[in-house]
Amino acid sequence: KEELFSRTGIQLLPFNTIFQLRALKKANSPLLEHAETLLMIPDLLRYFLTGEKKSEFTNATTTQLFNPKTSDWDWELISLMGLPANIFPKDIAKPGSEAGRLSQSVCSELSVPAVPVIAVGEHDTASAVVGVPAETEDFAYLICGTWSLIGTELDTPLMSKQALDWNFTNEGGAGGTFRFLKNIMGLWLFQRCQADWEKDGISYSSAELVKLAGQSEAFRSAVDPDDPMFLNPVHMPEAIREYCRATGQHVPETPGQMIRCVLESLAFKYRFTLERIETLTGKEYDGLHMAGGGIRNELLCQYTANVLARNVWAGPSEASAIGNIAVQAIALDMFWDIQSARKAIRTSFPQKTYVPEDTEAWEAAYRRYTSQILVAASR
């Protein structure tokens, strides 16, 4: 893992492209033998539009086969994995660059001219970060959805031993930046509880579950959302109960208790991770920008402000789509740069500010969480 990180700066996660391709190689899959070009999904959609085969920078970095020091595929690593080098596109498009024009067949079918097709931040988080309406260049963000991605923008990747030990990642961003962040198992736990209860014959809307959680007792139990047992359990509520039993806590029984446990645990983990980001970067952040669909869960936003004892600025919920448009607008000279685009986003989309509440109680609960749950998880 040390060599992988020193070459790529990418967090070790089981679904990274490098492991998928290596698995194909170990299985002697004919796919690798017969493949002509590896295109990520956004690359494939662009190919359908233009006929041009190009990889895009932000997505290429997440494969764990890209070397940020050379700004190219890590050809030696590709060889070490036994992967065919010829399938990797030599042309890597940067966000905001023209990646081709609509092909003649597409133009004929749609009766449109051959307009340019702009490569954007084609990893959805890369676009979402562009869509964060921060007023300063140094800011912390949380892209909140099924996954939670908490991080900051850096000009160069941060590939220290401590960053490796804490399993942080350096993914490509727009405007020559890197997204220094951590993947946290986000509202996946909430969504799976909801889905598993529905299978059990009990249907709750998201709003109903949030209301029940708000009415439940605080700080009864907590989990480490990143424990592997929550990745894809047979039954998420039972997995949470099993975790709480194993760690000597109150076992949540009602849906309200269960969702309260999930939301409080996420907020605790957000603070823990943000503090590590500050340690690694040597920076301090006044508050946290939350964006993405998860900000519709207002209880989670408030809990996050409470445990951070800092303001949380929530919005926009459709940050990925907005950031995508912003990169295209910059490329077409509608904005000078990302900062001017973010200024327009601030004035165009609503943000809600969450001010910390009950900070003393949350501080005490957080101290218990770090000393009991996270210490136990690290053993």
Q: Please enumerate in sequence order all residues whose Cβ is within 8 A of that of 286, keeping only pairs 6 or more positions apart, or say none.
A: 310, 311
Residue 168 falls within a domain, yes or no? yes
- Are residues 142 and 109 part of one domain? no
Largest CA distance in the chain: 67
Is 124 noted as a catalytic residue in this protein?
Answer: yes
- Are residues 112 and 214 part of one domain? no
Q: How many Å apart are CA 374 and CA 378, to the nearest integer?
A: 6
- Are residues 309 and 182 part of one domain? yes
- DSSP assigned state of 349: S
Do the beta carbons of residue 173 and residue 129 sit within 8 Å?
yes
- Are residues 182 and 213 part of one domain? yes
Q: What is the pTM of this model?
A: 0.94
pLDDT value for 373:
84
Given a cut of 90, whether residue 379 has pLDDT beyond it is: no
- Are residues 276 and 161 part of one domain? yes
Q: How many Å apart are CA 173 and CA 179, to the nearest integer?
A: 6
Domains contained in the chain, number: 2
Confidence at 363, pLDDT banded by 50, 70, 90: very high
Question: Between the CA atoms of 353, 354, 359 and 362, what dihedral angle is there, to the nearest 10 degrees?
Answer: -140
DSSP string, 280-339: HHT---SEEEEESGGGG-HHHHHHHHHHHTSEEEE--TTHHHHHHHHHHHHHTTSSSSHH
- pLDDT for 304-348, tens place per residue? 999 999 999 999 999 999 999 999 999 999 999 999 999 999 999
Given a cut of 60, whether residue 241 has pLDDT beyond it is: yes
Location of structure tokens 């967090």: 11
Q: Please enumerate in sequence order all residues whose Cβ is within 8 A of that of 240, keeping only pairs 6 or more positions apart, or say none.
A: 189, 193, 223, 230, 252, 258, 261, 262
Q: What is the mean pLDDT of the chain?
A: 96
Q: Please enumerate in sequence order all residues whose Cβ is within 8 A of that of 221, keeping only pairs 6 or more positions apart, or say none.
A: 244, 249, 250, 251, 252, 257, 261
Residue 329 falls within a domain, yes or no? no
- Are residues 144 and 89 part of one domain? no
Strand arrangement of the beta sheet that strand 140-144 belongs to? 169-172, 178-185, 147-154, 140-144, 287-291, 311-314, 352-354
Identified catalytic residue from 43, 74, 124, 224: 124
Q: What is the CATH number of the domain that holds 44?
A: 3.30.420.40
- Are residues 157 and 109 part of one domain? no
pLDDT value for 248:
95
pLDDT value for 378:
55
Q: How many Å apart are CA 135 and CA 139, to the nearest integer?
A: 8
Location of structure tokens 């391709």: 21
Which SS3 state, helix, strand or coil, does residue 51 take?
A: coil
CA separation, residue 95 to residues 58, 98, 187, 253, 336 (Å): 8, 9, 28, 48, 15
- pLDDT for 19-67, tens place per residue? 999 999 999 999 998 999 999 999 999 999 999 999 999 999 999 999 9
Confidence at 14, pLDDT banded by 50, 70, 90: confident
Q: Which stretches does DSSP call E strand in the chain?
A: 55-56, 66-67, 72-73, 92-93, 98-101, 116-118, 140-144, 147-154, 169-172, 178-185, 287-291, 311-314, 352-354
Q: How many Å apart are CA 60 and CA 172, to the nearest integer?
A: 8
- pLDDT for 252-293, tens place per residue? 999 999 999 999 999 999 999 999 999 999 999 999 999 999
Residue 344 falls within a domain, yes or no? no
Residue 40 falls within a domain, yes or no? yes
- pLDDT for 83-128, tens place per residue? 999 999 999 999 999 999 999 999 999 999 999 999 999 999 999 9
Which SS3 state, helix, strand or coil, does residue 75 take?
A: helix
Residue 326 falls within a domain, yes or no? no
Dihedral sign from CA coordinates of 335, 341, 347, 349: positive
- Are residues 219 and 271 part of one domain? yes
Residue whose C-alpha is closest to residue 62's, from 220, 165, 171, 162: 171
CA separation, residue 269 to residues 10, 134, 186, 362 (Å): 20, 22, 10, 13
Residue 128 falls within a domain, yes or no? no
pLDDT value for 13:
86
